[in-house]
Structure 1
Amino acid sequence: MGTGLIEISAQLAIPETEIVERFVRASGAGGQNVNKVSTAVELRFDVAGSPSLPEPLRQRLLARRDRRMTGEGVLVIDAQRFRTQDRNRQDARERLVAFIQTSLSVPKARVATKPTYGSKLRRLDQKKERAQVKRGRSTRNWE
């Protein structure tokens, strides 16, 4: 591991000391190479305990429903798309950056609005039509 920074945006960077990389053997096709060489990368980043993340960003990241996030707030990224360890490391870091960048912008709060008069009428008309169809299905006395 180096001592550099992982650039997220112009204002935010994460020190490499905050990520933990583990090299494991990849699964799937690849023959002897896959069986012998630890090319897959498991990158772990503690979102909950990271001092370099601003608090609002941390809350947005932890609130996301993502299967890569553990219960303790640790993001785990498995990268094994490529044949080389170096390329998989790059891929894992790029995916970490992309994950954090998606939560950088604050979502706009939804302003509740009332349904328009026209939309109310259309809804009621649809309800009446549907009721008519269902009424037509009922059994009748044909005698």
Structure 2
Amino acid sequence: MKVAELLKEVNYKFVRSSGPGGQNVNKVSSKVELYFDLKNSLALSEKEKSVLSTKLTNYISKDQLLILKCDSARSQHKNKDIVSKRLITLLKKALQKTAVRKKTKLPQKAVKKRLEQKKRNAEKKANRRDPLR
């Protein structure tokens, strides 16, 4: 995955932000919506596309567009930088291979301790029983 190529394929849409802010919110389109076409991307291989489409289903629309939004900062430029960085980290995290966990045996000491505890618990409960029954 080449970041420079990937960012060339991204489309940005600037929208008016919501929430408090008075005149700034009413006049300035500071909210940034990022659209990335997964299906037609040249920066990603077919294998990467399939992995991303399965792992990032919550971010992908029916048209295979990956959509991210940001309106945390007051300026359009900062929001654009934030959403671009968020896209890159999201893609890198999704493409990262998870390490396979090696199964390890439980130590003998732990097994012995568990069985002793189980035995003590059984004795405790046996002592609670009514001896006449």
TM-score, normalized by the shorter chain, greater than 0.5? yes
d(CA) in 2 for partners of 1:30, 1:47: 34
For residue 21 of structure 1, what is the aligned residue in structure 2?
Answer: 12
Q: Deviations over 1:44-81 (max 9, x none)?
A: 22334423212343344333367434466432211111
When normalised by structure 1's length, the TM-score is 0.67
Q: Deviations over 1:15-52 (max 9, x none)?
A: 52x32221111122211111222110011223344232
d(CA) in 2 for partners of 1:49, 1:125: 62
Q: Secondary structure at the match of 1:26?
A: coil
Query: Could you say if the C-alpha distance between residues 108 and 36 of structure 1 is closer, same or farther in structure 2, counting changes exceeding 3 Å?
Result: same
When normalised by structure 2's length, the TM-score is 0.71
1:117 Cα shift?
2.5
- The correspondence for 1:114, drawn from 85, 88, 105, is 105
Q: Which amino acid aligns with 1:19?
A: V
Root mean square deviation, CA, Å: 3.2
Q: Percent identity?
A: 31
- The correspondence for 1:101, drawn from 89, 92, 100, is 92
Q: Which amino acid aligns with 2:6?
A: I
Query: Could you say if the C-alpha distance between residues 86 and 113 of structure 1 is closer, same or farther in structure 2, counting changes exceeding 3 Å?
Result: same
Ranges in structure 1 where 5+ consecutive residues have no aligned partner: 1-6
Q: Secondary structure at the match of 1:22?
A: strand
Q: Deviations over 1:57-107 (max 9, x none)?
A: 334433336743446643221111111112211111111111122234322
Relative to its length, the structure with more helix (as a share) is 2
Query: Could you say if the C-alpha distance between residues 70 and 127 of structure 1 is closer, same or farther in structure 2, counting changes exceeding 3 Å?
Result: farther
**Could you tell me whether the CA contact under 8 Å between 2:56 and 2:94 is conserved in 1?**
no
d(CA) in 2 for partners of 1:43, 1:128: 61
d(CA) in 2 for partners of 1:83, 1:122: 59
**Count of residue correspondences:** 131
**Could you tell me whether the CA contact under 8 Å between 1:57 and 1:103 is conserved in 2?**
no
Q: Which amino acid aligns with 2:37?
A: D
Q: Secondary structure at the match of 1:111?
A: coil
